[in-house]
Amino acid sequence: MANNNPTISGVSYQNPWSPGLSDQTPSGVTISCDFSDCPVTSNYVLVARLMQGEKVLVMPECSVLNPGQLTLMLPYPLADGFSSYVQCQFVQLSGSYNPSTIIASVSWTDASIINIPVLASILELSEGVIEISGTTLNATFSWANQFPLTAYVQIYAPGLQSATFVSCFNHSTTLSYNYSTPTSPPPPWTVVLRPLIPLNPPPPTPWPPNAILSPSTPSILGSGITYTLPDQSPSITSVNYDGSMVSAAWTPPAVPDGAEPVSYELLLTCTSNGVTTSTYPATSSGGTAPLPMPGSLAETYTVSARVNYGVIKGPSSSAVPVITGSVDNIVQSTDTSTGIATLTWNDISGFNTSNANYSGYTETFNLTFGSGTPITGNSGTSYSLTTQLTANAVNTVSVSVTATSGTVTTTGPCSPWRRLGTSQPILLSAEYDGTNISLSWQAMEGSVCGYTATLFVNGTASTSAFSAPAGSTSLNFSPATTISSSDTLTVTLQATMKGDAGPGLPTNPMPVSFTPAFFLAATGQTTTAPLIYTAPTLAALNQTQPASITLFLPSGNYVAAGKTLSQPVLSPTTSAIFTLAANPATNSNSTLYPYTLAINSTAWNTNTIRASVQTAYTDFLTAAETAGVTPWGISVIQEAIARHMPQTFAETLYYNYGLNLAQGYADLRPGMVLRVMPSNYMVVPGYDNNPSEKAVSNTDGYTNSAPIDYDIGSYTDSSGWMVGFDAFLSRLMGGAITVAPPAAMAGDAQGVAEAADLYYPAFQQPFYRVFFPTTLSATSTVSTLPASQINLAAAANYTALQNTSISAATNTYFCGRAIIKLCIRVIINGNEAVVPIGTTVTNILERAGRVPPKSGVTLTGLKLERAIGQTDSFGNASCQAGRAYKVHFDYQPLPVYGTGQSALDLPLLHGDILTFAA
């Protein structure tokens, strides 16, 4: 036998106890042969054994004829650090093939024996990174160099038995392969890493060479380690950022067998100011990463995930943007009709489709309530609740932003909690007086910023809102639209509390009742004199033609014993302006208000001298008295007419106080003040015995002294209803003291010194009249004739009162040259004042220098409340003790009349409350 041309092309070692390799490399030591230079009929066999030092580890084996390779099976893995090698010899057969004979023929000491080292060392990957870009898989592997070893890397595509390989003399390499996303879980990609040294390096070539070895280079390969490559990434389903931590949830990819150990990572990438990525361990379902709140929305981040098989990192999933901002300025508005709240806000989340991170994403908003079902997926920066919030229950809201692309969502942090407006005031009253709507409500607890009222006209909200400051419990405002008698008015009230997102719940709509009031005739409505009239209803205010007035008179001793009002009492004139009758109602109203007083439309006529009305008035009262109406009943009727009948300004003094300038008298009625100005006679010292010699005799005479006020009021004694001059005296004279009448001389009337003197029996009556002389006495002398004095007449009934005169001897007066002034008590800016009757609003404003122009200006800030007495137009079962009607100076521009008077020339009546802004 002789050696010929076959050569050894490589020796590889594969640990038989390691997992099988993808390239089906046999376990053990495999010697590869190259017979390319030998004839086909050369009949060579290869005989080889494995040695470790001088020890035979594997007994010689013989190959087949012209073998491609021969594998020596190992009883155990080769130990790294020991010198292992194979001894080989090619044997050319000359006879038959007999392995044992062939092996026996080999001399292991022969010079033809080929000794080739076996690499027992291994190379382990320190890191692998798989990236997939489109249809390309890029794989980067790193390992620790073990010079003079280099690496032999084999990549196995799924389902392929042959390998693409590369040998590399550095500590890393990057390989690229065609890649398509599998539609079903295929066999995995794998990589095998083996140590390598050339079998026969060319002598001039340095080791390791600078170029990659070709696959045909004879090499010695160590045992390879197979790694499974992760070519799939987790599918992120959601990303959430709470202001400090980013959390992501995903669906993991299928993991093939042999891919252990499997781990997951979350990658947080800052995409602004240079791209930087931080990696955080995660689980198969998701992971978290710390992220402090960025200082600016320009600082942007994305999240991705990957699965790792051991040291090989899989491709990153598609990046999902992190929404780091939220919303601010959450504002609540509450529909004043439905009570449904609408929330609006400003989007400061940083979401912007022009940013590549958000390409393909759609923005929505989520609302979380402290109490209530959360809302997700709301489009736009506003949301209207579907039901009312619970009144006066604490509730809050927070808003976050979500961006969605397909099945992926990313949600930013929640905004700071904002307290919702749930406060609901308790509205007590709502009234309209023809000019202003007046509301009152119960004071609320807590820090109230203010109140807002909304007016509804026939169910439609007014475009104007009306506000009241914190601490208010009432509000007056003028409607922004014209109100007609057919309109239905309702109003709601909302409160805004400090710290709330907006106004709270509106009250239930409250009907606005018309507030009866006094109104002044408009400019041009009358050519004779200004007129004041009552409007108990909105229809009465808006009427275009004069209408009748019906008043309900309260129960009392109206009719004398044995008398009834079975028939109405009419004023004995053609027009029958006044009618007194029994209340026709059959309900409880007729018990409380058994009588009615009707005043027909004739009382509106001011284009003529109203002597006819005055005559009808006196005739009516006389007729009523004849029908059995008592003095108290006459007093009530007088008050009803005086307070409710349309009157010219001058007539108000006649009907309220009986002031008749033409006849020179006025009546004393309850509520008036009788002011007596006593006059003392003053004598200047001098020649008393001979006045003609006095140098200063002209200075003697009567002079004034301190006034005395007597409050006229009613009382009842055994004789019935009376009018007195002092409440205490009226009580006292009821039987405790008897007053003697003043002595009288022929044609004269004896005067009295004080009000107590007026309580002599013949002068205690229900009616009094004050007469004024046509000429006032000189200050030097005083006549005792009644016609020369301001004197008082008393009458037992209205008819007798009408028959009194200034010259009656039964009259009396205050002694001396006493001056009587008739006054009333009014309240001005909260202070009570006694003013003479006839004092006008202008007179009061003159005191303060605040008389406005009389040119038809719109006047505000002036308020006059006027009592309406015991009667009204409704006959309600209850009423306020201090009920009064407002006199409207603000219903229209300040009227100016053809007489030169203005609305402010209205005389005051007793009990008037006048307020004007300082």
**Interval 312-342: pLDDT, tens:** 999 999 999 999 999 999 999 999 989 999 9
The residue assigned the tokens 């004995």 is 572
pLDDT band at 2 (very low <50, low <70, confident <90, very high): very low
Q: How confident is the model at residue 54 (pLDDT cuts 50, 70, 90)?
A: confident
Structure-block tokens of residue 642: 């005086």
CB contact set of 450 (below 8 Å; sequence gap of 6+): 467, 468, 469, 470, 472, 495, 496
Task: Tell me the three state secondary structure of residue 782.
Answer: coil
Q: Are 236 and 248 in contact (CB under 8 A)?
A: yes
**Which of 85-99, 121-135, 207-221, 898-912 has the least mean pLDDT?**
207-221
Q: Token match 């929640």: residue?
A: 414
Tokens in use for 195?
């140590």
State yes or no: pLDDT of 272 exceeds 80: yes
Q: What is the three-class DSSP state of 422?
A: coil
CB-CB contact of 317 with 405 (8 Å): no
Instruction: Please tell me which residue, 744 or 205, carries the higher pLDDT value.
Output: 744
Q: Which amino acid is at 647?
A: Q
- Residue with tokens 């001793």, as numbered in its chain: 557
Other beta carbons within 10 Å of 354:
6
Please state the rounded mean pLDDT for residues 107-129.
86
CA distances from 192 to 22, 118, 163, 565 (A): 8, 18, 9, 127
Residues 133-149 as b/e (b if ≥16 CB within 10 A, e otherwise) read eeeebebbbebeeeeeb
How is residue 581 written in tokens? 């009758």
Q: Are the C-beta atoms of 84 and 120 separated by less than 8 Å?
A: yes
Average pLDDT of the segment spanning 79-84: 77
Tens-digit pLDDT profile for residues 751-762: 888 889 999 999
Banded pLDDT at 145 (limits 50, 70, 90): low
Q: Which residue has the higher pLDDT, 736 or 54?
A: 54
pTM as predicted? 0.67
Please compute the mean of the pLDDT values over residues 365-383 and round it to a whole number. Answer: 95
* Between 829 and 123, residue with greater pLDDT: 829
Which of the given ranges, 4-13, 165-174, 201-210, 414-423, has the highest pLDDT on average?
414-423
Q: Assess whether pLDDT exceeds 60 at residue 482.
A: yes
Determine how many CB atoms are found less than 10 A away from the CB of residue 806: 22
CA distance 666 to 795: 14
Range from 108-112, 179-183, 265-269, 676-680 that averages highest in pLDDT: 265-269
Higher-confidence residue of 875 and 352: namely 352
What pLDDT score does 22 carry? 47
Q: Look up tokens 């808006």; give the residue.
A: 542
| Residue 405 confidence (pLDDT) | 96
Number of Cβ atoms within 10 Å of the Cβ of 527: 10
pLDDT of residue 586 exceeding 70: no
pLDDT at 388 over 80: yes
Residues whose CB is less than 8 angstroms from the CB of residue 508 and which lie 6 or more positions away in sequence, other chains included: 492
Residue 759: alpha-carbon gap to chain centroid? 69
Lowest mean pLDDT among 114-118, 519-523, 797-801: 519-523
- Residue 691: how many CB atoms within 10 A of its CB? 11
Could you give the C-alpha distances from 59 to 49, 75, 92, in angstroms and in order?
5, 11, 20
The confidence score (pLDDT) of residue 1 equals 39
Give the residue-averaged pLDDT of 476-489.
Answer: 86
More confident residue, 238 or 679: 238
To the nearest whole number, what is the mean pLDDT of the chain? Answer: 85
CA distance 605 to 378: 67
Distance CA 764, CA 722 (A): 7
The predicted model gives 228-255 an average pLDDT of 94
Whole-number Å distance between alpha carbons of 384 and 388? 10
| Residue from 798, 837, 504, 538 nearest 666 by CA | 837
The pLDDT of residue 28: 87
Per-residue model confidence (pLDDT) at position 186: 67
pLDDT score of 829 more than 60: yes
Task: Give the pLDDT band (50/70/90) at residue 183.
Answer: low
For residues 434-458, give the mean pLDDT.
Answer: 92
Q: Write out the E strands in 718-777.
A: 720-724, 767-771
Question: At 581, is the pLDDT very low, low, confident or very high (cuts 50, 70, 90)?
Answer: confident
Identify the pLDDT of residue 684.
66
pLDDT at 681: 67
pLDDT tier, 300 (very low <50, low <70, confident <90, very high otherwise): very high
Contacts of 156 (CB under 8 A, 6+ apart): 22, 23, 163, 189, 190, 191, 192
Residue 687 has pLDDT above 60, yes or no: no
Q: What is the pLDDT of residue 156?
A: 73
Query: Does residue 415 have a pLDDT over 50?
Result: yes
Q: How confident is the model at residue 407 (pLDDT cuts 50, 70, 90)?
A: very high
pLDDT band of residue 784 (cuts 50, 70, 90) is low
What would the pLDDT profile of 339-362 be if each residue is shown by its tens digit? 999 999 999 999 988 888 999 999
737: pLDDT strictly greater than 50:
yes
Lowest mean pLDDT among 52-56, 65-69, 149-153, 774-778: 149-153
pLDDT band at 712 (very low <50, low <70, confident <90, very high): very high
Out of 213-217, 221-225, 394-398, least confident range: 213-217
Q: Residue 67 has what DSSP assignment? A: -
As a whole number of Å, the CA-based R_g of the chain is 60
* pLDDT given for residue 721 in this prediction: 93
| 521-553 residue pLDDT tens | 775 554 556 888 888 877 777 665 567 888 888
Determine the average pLDDT of the residues in 488-507: 95
pLDDT at 463 (0 to 100): 81
Dihedral sign for Cα atoms in the order 816, 822, 827, 829: negative
Query: In this predicted structure, what is the pLDDT of residue 207?
Result: 54
What integer pLDDT is reported at residue 539 of this predicted model?
74
The stretch 248-273 carries a mean pLDDT of 90
Q: Kindly report, residue by residue over 593-616, the tens digit of the pLDDT.
A: 888 888 888 777 665 557 888 989
- Per-residue pLDDT at 240 exceeds 60: yes
pLDDT surpasses 80 at 704: no
